[in-house]
Amino acid sequence: MKRIIFSAVLLLLINAAIAQHVEYGIKGGVNFANLNNDAADNDVDAKTGFHVGALAHIHVTRVFAIQPEIMYSTQGAKFGNDKLKLNYVNVPVLAQYMFGNGFRIQTGPQLGILTTSEWERGDVETDVDNLSNADFSWSFGAGFVGRNGLGVDARYNLGLTDVTKSNTTDWQNRVWQFGLFYQFKHH
């Protein structure tokens, strides 16, 4: 299933790139990740991590663009002195409205594929197997890109699906991302 989704996204990107003006880029930054459970009364704190990856900025009109990305993202949460480490390959597809001065706002869906999951207690790390392999989120954000192609962005990823395989708990990812990006051949 992962290969089918990845192949479909790749074909969509190639087709869109041929038809429109596309600027490719790289990006990275810091994550402040947490897990949300409205019914839980647990002591859950944010875990600091990072994200790094690539983007394709596809101009549809002068003020509207589609920006698919592929990102490696370290997420999870802290439970007292313990940490749940969740590592994802995230594929957001963002619709962007671009103002003439370099500012842009963006929103869109994000599919996350879980690559590794570990529970850390002190110096001991244990694999966690009872988590879902896929996570669906919705992203909201804003950014600024200068004439040289260097930019900054801030984004909030609101997890919409349960990341556990449990019938008794319902945990969703919540991730703030702050980062830098560079778009090649920016006009």
Mean pLDDT, range 137-153, rounded to an integer: 96
Residues in contact with 73: Cβ distance below 8 Å, sequence separation at least 6, in sequence order:
31, 49, 50, 51, 87, 88, 89, 90, 112, 175, 177
Q: How far apart are CA 164 and CA 161, in angstroms?
A: 9
Q: How far apart are CA 116 and CA 128, in angstroms?
A: 8
Question: What are the residue ranges of helices labelled H in the chain?
Answer: 2-19
Domain ranges of the chain: 2-183
Could you tell me which residues are beta bridge partners of residue 11?
none
Percent of the chain past pLDDT 70, that is, above it, reads: 85
Q: How far apart are CA 92 and CA 89, in angstroms?
A: 10
Q: How far apart are CA 187 and CA 184, in angstroms?
A: 9
Predicted confidence (pLDDT) per residue in 69-108, tens digit? 999 999 999 988 899 999 999 999 999 999 989 999 999 9
Task: Answer yes or no: are the C-beta atoms of 135 and 114 closer than 8 Å.
Answer: yes
Asked whether residue 3 carries a pLDDT value surpassing 80, the answer given is no
pLDDT recorded at residue 17: 52
Largest interatomic CA distance in the chain: 52
Mean pLDDT, range 122-141, rounded to an integer: 91
Predicted confidence (pLDDT) per residue in 47-60, tens digit? 999 999 999 999 99
Four-way CATH pick for 2-183: 2.40.160.20, 2.60.120.460, 3.40.50.1110, 3.30.70.60: 2.40.160.20
How would you classify the pairing of strands 172-183 and 21-36?
Answer: antiparallel
The b/e string for 122-131 (b: 16+ C-beta within 10 A; e otherwise) is eeeeeebeeb
Asked whether residue 172 carries a pLDDT value surpassing 70, the answer given is yes
Mean pLDDT, range 138-164, rounded to an integer: 95
